[in-house]
């Protein structure tokens, strides 16, 4: 992954969030307060603007800058959580063109940052339920020598599967937790948007045709 | 949706512009969205800052002024402010004596204020946080994000604000705020859902003959839905929910707030207050002070919340101390 790929990843995420804005809002209206689509759309639009001519030369710098933009633009819980994920990943990612293993390690650091800030564990019906299996798949792919595009596709599939798996869960963190049993039967909006983030990475890596 | 709007996107900025025009004694920075006392930080006084999603007016902007908040940072509707915004409020409120942040216990607020407190500490500013978590509708904090911060926020801001005005130091003001939170419990009932300008339709569906018992101030669901019943029976359940969670000994004095959620007439709130007073009298609890009106709202939600705060040492004296804000004013 180089700085351009990091930029195109986040641009793809911004486009995906805009396209899926209404679905995210609908999911959030069912078990939250119905602003997830609008908040993420505002946030990733700010990310795209911040990265338009930012002069970053490494993917780590791009991710840190994107994370800072999310934290300062979104509010709510999703801004600090996504912002922390990208900043923590960016700080971990050294060099101008790190390989799949380094990217997997960086996103592991991102996941750790999310868990430290939000305190959520797998099974709590949060973004962690998509993020954790995605990172696991990314690490496994990298360990088997897959290129970034292939590893990211596996991660995107795992994230989507993880998001679907939140449907029967009972929320234990965030606003949905107040619903108790009434939170079951709905996909968690944070897990759904995390699935978009990993799909955007796979799509961007595919387009870049990155070699292992 | 029928609302007074120019556009949903400009709702908050337009409302803040009007707030600024109405209250020349306050200063509203449209760029940072921070509301402060026009004179700036009071030398030597501990600063008091609060904020949170908009839509709960007069909370928090309406409580900026002498004897209460030094600065407020309103976020988007029902969305916590961002850390930069909280930091701007801390800078504006800090006179060198440190700043107390009053934070309602919601996941987003807790995270953004925590990040802001870290940024402030990086700048050498001393910050203490008081977390408000008074809503007894949330019973099991092991399996939830914990009790929500609601009506007691007003009591914390008033009483800690008076402690700061009297020259309390940072630790003492924060301790006062925490004691008020610990002594307070709230419970709310919704008759209808509120509508955010962005969504354009009610936040949840509630059948014509049902009420949400234990509702949160963003329309979060409560303990259960019930059929609408006579007010006396609904209020009895509210008083008992509050007192069962934190019993008040017979003969103790309390401060009671019957708070409208935005869409309930004052006449109904007084009716509710009458029932609250009767039920508390039955249980031997003495009301020393009360407030009835819209203070911590949820846009246009019909319904009300009840907050009972046991009047511990010094609370009533601090409650009676002068306050001069858009929404609370006495003794001046």
Q: List the helix and strand counts (H, then E) for chain A.
A: 8, 0
Fold of the domain built from segment(s) A3-208: 1.25.40
Domain end residue (candidates: B183, B208, B242): B183
Same domain, B209 and B177: no
Is the preceding omega at residue B267 within 30 degrees of 0, hence cis? no
Is residue B316 included in any domain, yes or no? Answer: no
Same domain, B160 and B225: no
Contact A35 B78 (CB under 8 A): yes
Confidence of residue A212 (pLDDT cuts 50, 70, 90): very low
State residue B48's pLDDT score.
98
Same domain, B215 and B303: yes
List the CATH number of the domain containing B83.
Answer: 3.40.50.10440
Q: What is the number of CB-based contacts under 8 A between chain A and chain B?
A: 90
Is residue B217 included in any domain, yes or no? Answer: yes
Structural domain boundaries of chain A? 3-208
Contact A180 B144 (CB under 8 A): yes
State residue A211's pLDDT score.
46
Mean per-residue pLDDT of chain A:
94
Judge whether residue B91 has pLDDT over 80.
yes
B173 to chain A, minimum CA–CA distance in Å? 27
Confidence of residue B200 (pLDDT cuts 50, 70, 90): confident
Is residue B203 included in any domain, yes or no? Answer: yes
* Catalytic residue IDs of B: 56, 218
Confidence of residue B141 (pLDDT cuts 50, 70, 90): low
DSSP B222-278: -SEEEE---HHHHHHHHHHHHHHHS---TT-EEEEEEEE-BSS-HHHHHHHHHHHHH
Judge whether residue A79 has pLDDT over 70.
yes
**Bigger pLDDT: A205 vs A177:** A205
Is residue B135 included in any domain, yes or no? Answer: yes
Cross-chain CB nearest to B111 (options A117, A178, A179): A117
Cα first-last separation, chain B? 40
A35-54: per-residue pLDDT in tens? 899 889 999 999 999 998 78
Cross-chain CB nearest to B83 (options A72, A77, A178): A72
Cross-chain CB nearest to B82 (options A38, A72, A172): A72
List the CATH number of the domain containing B288.
Answer: 3.30.1180.20
Owning domain of residue B267: 186-311
Same domain, B132 and B102: yes
H/E element, A103: helix A100-118
Prediction pTM value: 0.90
A179-196: per-residue pLDDT in tens? 888 889 999 999 999 999
Mean per-residue pLDDT of chain B:
95
Same domain, B211 and B178: no
Rounded Cα–Cα distance for residues A54 and A37 (Å): 26
- Name the one residue in this structure whose structure tokens are 């925590």: B114
Contact B107 A77 (CB under 8 A): yes
Same domain, B195 and B289: yes
Confidence of residue B29 (pLDDT cuts 50, 70, 90): very high
Confidence of residue B142 (pLDDT cuts 50, 70, 90): low
Same domain, B102 and B215: no
Is residue B329 included in any domain, yes or no? Answer: no
A178 to chain B, minimum CA–CA distance in Å? 6
Is residue B317 included in any domain, yes or no? Answer: no
State residue B226's pLDDT score.
96
A83-92, B100-109, B192-201: the lowest-pLDDT one: B192-201
Judge whether residue B140 has pLDDT over 80.
no
Q: How many domains does chain B have?
A: 2
Same domain, B30 and B178: yes
* Residue ranges of A 20-39 with Cβ closer than 8 A to chain B: 25, 29, 33-35, 38-39
Would you say A192 and A26 are in contact if contact means Cβ atoms under 8 Å apart? no
State residue B201's pLDDT score.
86
State residue B289's pLDDT score.
98
Same domain, B163 and B237: no
A126-149: per-residue pLDDT in tens? 999 999 999 999 999 999 999 999
* Residue ranges of A 52-71 with Cβ closer than 8 A to chain B: 71
Is residue B306 included in any domain, yes or no? Answer: yes
Contact A175 B145 (CB under 8 A): yes
Judge whether residue A210 has pLDDT over 60.
no
Q: Provide mean pLDDT across the span B189-217.
A: 92
Per the document, the length of chain B is 332
Contact B106 A175 (CB under 8 A): yes
Contact B196 A117 (CB under 8 A): no
| Chain A residues inside the 8 Å CB shell of B138 | 178
Q: Provide mean pLDDT across the span B69-79.
A: 95
Contact A35 B221 (CB under 8 A): no
Same domain, B35 and B176: yes
Would you say B184 and B136 are in contact if contact means Cβ atoms under 8 Å apart? no
A1 to chain B, minimum CA–CA distance in Å? 29
Q: Please, is B140 exposed, middle or buried when counting C-beta atoms within 10 Å of its C-beta (0-12, 13-18, 19+)?
A: exposed
State residue A31's pLDDT score.
87
Relative to beta strand B71-77, strand B34-37 is: antiparallel
Query: For testing the chain B interface, which of A22, A32, A35 should be mutated: the one with the most B CBs within 10 Å?
Result: A35
Q: Is B292 helix (H, G, I), strand (E, B) or coil?
A: strand
- Angle between helix axes A59-73 and A36-50 (nearest 10 degrees) is 140
pLDDT cut 90: percent of chain A above it: 82
Residue A76: name the closest of A40, A125, A123 by CA: A40
């Amino acid at each position: 992954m180089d700085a351009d790929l990091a930029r195109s990843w986040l641009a793809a995420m911004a486009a995906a969030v805009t396209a899926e804005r209404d679905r995210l809002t609908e999911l959030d209206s069912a078990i939250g307060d119905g602003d997830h689509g609008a908040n993420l759309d505002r946030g990733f639009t700010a990310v795209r603007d911040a990265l338009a001519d930012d002069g970053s030369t490494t993917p780590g710098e791009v991710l840190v800058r994107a994370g800072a933009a999310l934290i300062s633009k979104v509010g709510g819980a999703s801004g600090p959580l996504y912002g922390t994920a990208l900043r923590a990943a960016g700080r971990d990612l050294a060099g101008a063109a790190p390989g799949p293993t380094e990217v997997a390690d960086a996103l592991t650091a991102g996941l750790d940052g999310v868990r430290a800030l939000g305190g959520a564990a797998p099974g709590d019906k949060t973004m962690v339920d998509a993020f954790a299996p995605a990172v696991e798949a990314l690490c496994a792919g990298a360990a088997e020598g897959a290129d970034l595009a292939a590893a990211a596709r596996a991660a995107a599939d795992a994230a989507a599967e993880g998001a679907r798996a939140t449907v029967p869960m009972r929320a234990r963190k965030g606003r949905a937790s107040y619903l108790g049993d009434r939170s079951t039967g709905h996909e968690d909006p944070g897990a759904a948007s995390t699935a978009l983030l990993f799909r955007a990475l796979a799509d961007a890596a595919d387009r870049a045709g990155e070699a292992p | 949706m029928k609302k007074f709007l120019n556009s949903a996107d400009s709702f908050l900025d337009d409302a803040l512009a009007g707030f600024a025009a109405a209250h020349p004694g306050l200063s509203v920075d449209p760029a940072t969205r921070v509301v402060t006392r026009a004179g700036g930080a009071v030398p030597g006084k501990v600063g008091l800052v609060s904020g949170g999603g908009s839509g709960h007016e007069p909370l928090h902007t309406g409580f900026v002024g002498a004897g209460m908040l030094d600065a407020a940072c309103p976020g988007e509707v029902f969305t916590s402010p961002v850390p930069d915004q909280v930091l701007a409020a801390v800078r504006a409120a800090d006179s060198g004596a440190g700043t107390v942040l009053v934070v309602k216990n919601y996941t987003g607020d807790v995270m953004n204020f925590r990040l802001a407190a870290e940024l402030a500490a990086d700048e050498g500013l001393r910050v203490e946080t008081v977390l408000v978590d008074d809503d007894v509708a949330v019973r099991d904090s092991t399996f939830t994000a914990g009790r929500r911060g609601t009506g007691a926020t007003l009591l914390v801001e008033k009483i800690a604000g008076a402690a700061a005005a009297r020259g309390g130091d940072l630790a003492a003001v924060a301790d006062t705020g925490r004691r008020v939170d610990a002594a307070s419990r709230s419970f709310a009932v919704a008759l209808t859902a509120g509508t955010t300008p962005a969504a354009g339709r009610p936040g949840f569906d509630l059948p014509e003959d049902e009420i949400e018992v234990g509702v949160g101030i963003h329309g979060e669901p409560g303990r259960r839905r019930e059929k609408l019943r006579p007010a006396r029976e609904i209020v009895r359940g509210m008083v008992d929910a509050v007192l069962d969670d934190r019993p008040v000994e017979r003969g103790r004095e309390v401060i009671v707030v019957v708070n409208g959620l935005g869409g309930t007439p004052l006449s109904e709130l007084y009716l509710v207050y009458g029932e609250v007073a009767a039920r508390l009298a039955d249980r031997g609890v003495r009301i020393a002070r009360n407030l009835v009106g819209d203070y911590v709202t949820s846009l246009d939600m019909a319904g009300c919340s009840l907050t009972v705060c046991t009047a511990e040492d010094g609370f009533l004296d601090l409650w009676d101390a002068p306050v001069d804000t858009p929404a609370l004013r006495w003794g001046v």
